[in-house]
Amino acid sequence: IRRPPRSTPKPSSAASDVYKRQLLLISSQSVFSAGYLATYSFQVSNPAAYIEAVDELMATEWGKSFPSVVAVHQYAFNGYDDATHVVVLNYDDPESVGSGTESFNDPIFQSFLAKTASIAKPVEQTLNMKLISGGNEDPLKNQVYTIYRMQVKDPGSYAAAYSDVIEAQAEAGNIIGSYGLRQLVGGDSRYYTHYAYFSAGSIGEQLSSSEALFSSDSYATFAQEVGENRRIMNVSTLVNLVTYNN
């Protein structure tokens, strides 16, 4: 895996302070969105065969009863690691995370892993808590995602500034698809602690939306407010290939 150098892990007391501030954020944000996203990224050598295998898996009773929306994305622009694809599991609640993860021991899923082992090399696994969500959930408007991975010192103040700029962009009509702010709760936190994203129906739409965002007065204000609070570690673009159970 080729990633930029990672920072030294924070002392446990600092992590505790961040967690306490995050609890305050969760209790105070009216747009707080419960749920979790589990992501599994892979370096896939045969994309067509991999998608075919996923199709077969999700057509089984195991797949039809799986307790989350399942999406397979392909990296258009990565720069983060060696992954070419990522499977995203969109869970509504902790119970669904538990039952979904436990179901990976099922023989049907184990057979899928064995079948795809030679063409899909695991790269990273993460679990992220949904903090803020909104926008247009129309699948046609959620085909391309821009992901901003970052280190955030004070989650509460960052979320407040993020909410302000998102509201301004939504009022200006610059957000085409959905948007969200997520906190890493499972995985290697030495590289990033949070990520934000927004989506559109195509890469062209996404680039136009980005240009409108970065040239706006609300973004200039946002950038000034969070300049000392967050450090962007990576910007990636994902293209949706297939979605199940939605």
**Nearest Cα to Cα of residue 129 among 71, 178, 182:** 182
The answer to whether the pTM exceeds 0.95 is no
Q: What percent of the chain lies above the pLDDT cut of 90?
A: 81
Torsion of CA 114, 72, 244, 132, to 10 degrees: 130
> Can you read off the two tokens belonging to residue 244?
């199940």
CA 145 – CA 177 distance, rounded (Å): 9
pLDDT tens digits, one per residue of 58-83: 999 999 999 999 999 999 999 778 99
Residue 173 has pLDDT above 50, yes or no: yes
3-state secondary structure 137-168: CCHHHCCEEEEEEEEECCHHHHHHHHHHHHHH
Average pLDDT, the chain: 89
Mean pLDDT lowest among 3-17, 102-116, 218-232: 3-17
**Nearest Cα to Cα of residue 166 among 193, 132, 137, 138:** 132
Residue 24's pLDDT band, with cuts at 50, 70 and 90, is very low
Q: Can you give the pLDDT at residue 49?
A: 98
Residue 33's pLDDT band, with cuts at 50, 70 and 90, is low
Residue 17 has pLDDT above 60, yes or no: no
70 burial type by CB count under 10 A (0-12 exposed, 13-18 middle, 19+ buried): buried
Residue 93 has pLDDT above 90, yes or no: yes
| Strand ranges for 53-143 from DSSP E | 69-77, 85-91, 120-135
